Amino acid sequence: MAGANGGITAATEQQAEVAARCIAGDGAAPPYAGSLSMNILKMEGLNLVSLGLPEAPPDDPAYEEILFMDTARRYYKKCIVYRDRLMGAILIGDKSGFQKFKDLIANGLELSDKRLELLRAGKKADPVQGKLVCSCNNVGQGNLEAAIAAGCADFSVLCQTTGAGTGCGSCRPEVRGILEKKLKVLEVVGV
């Protein structure tokens, strides 16, 4: 989008991919269409994520704001829905649904039966194993190495499987480095 600043690593990667295709002469490559607006507050003890629209336009009744707050579990979720499509979300206290929400918004998928799942408490996140690599999705080096040892040898698949690198994207070089190093070790061992 002209004049828009994504402000995140993922947006930069998407822009670079489009530029690379154009430079390589791919005339059929689609133009850069903009990136999903995301904000992830990285603060010890506080999980806060904002995706897409933060609030419904006040003058359009086709938009719905769906709120859920669980004071006992200390989390809050707000979803902006337009014609059965998720347009935005704010997650406080529980960001385990981040990837699912991001995919629903980015791909413009109809919610249909997923609508009831949106506001339920997220699944218990896997504990961080080893050094924290991805603070957006709480993925440690040990989590990555376990996924690689289980057969996850492709960078994109590793990111989707573990959630690492699917938030702001700033950890992607480190995730790639861990993958390459672990694959070399596994190759030497003969696994």
Q: Which residue has the higher pLDDT, 45 or 178?
A: 178
Q: Which domain holds residue 79?
A: 34-118
Q: How far apart are CA 103 and CA 98, in angstroms?
A: 9
Are 144 and 111 members of one domain?
no
Which token pair is 21? Answer: 């295709």
| The total number of structural domains that make up the chain | 2
pLDDT band of residue 177 (cuts 50, 70, 90) is: very high
Q: For residue 179, what pLDDT is reported?
A: 92
In a domain, residue 101? The reply is: yes
In a domain, residue 138? The reply is: yes
4 residue type, one letter = A
Are 149 and 106 members of one domain?
no
Q: Domain of 44: which CATH number?
A: 3.30.390.30
Q: How far apart are CA 86 and CA 84, in angstroms?
A: 7
In a domain, residue 7? The reply is: no
Q: Which residue has the higher pLDDT, 19 or 186?
A: 19
Report yes or no: 158 and 141 within 8 Å, Cβ to Cβ: no
Query: pLDDT tens across 48-94, in order?
Result: 889 999 899 989 999 999 888 877 777 888 999 999 899 999 988 87
User: Which pTM does this prediction carry?
Assistant: 0.59
Last residue of a domain, one of 72, 96, 118: 118
In a domain, residue 56? The reply is: yes
Query: pLDDT tens across 94-123, in order?
Result: 777 788 888 888 888 888 767 766 666 555
Are 136 and 110 members of one domain?
no
Query: pLDDT tens across 138-161, in order?
Result: 789 999 999 998 988 899 889 888
| CA-based nearest residue to 53, from 35, 77, 79 | 79
Q: For residue 126, what pLDDT is reported?
A: 67
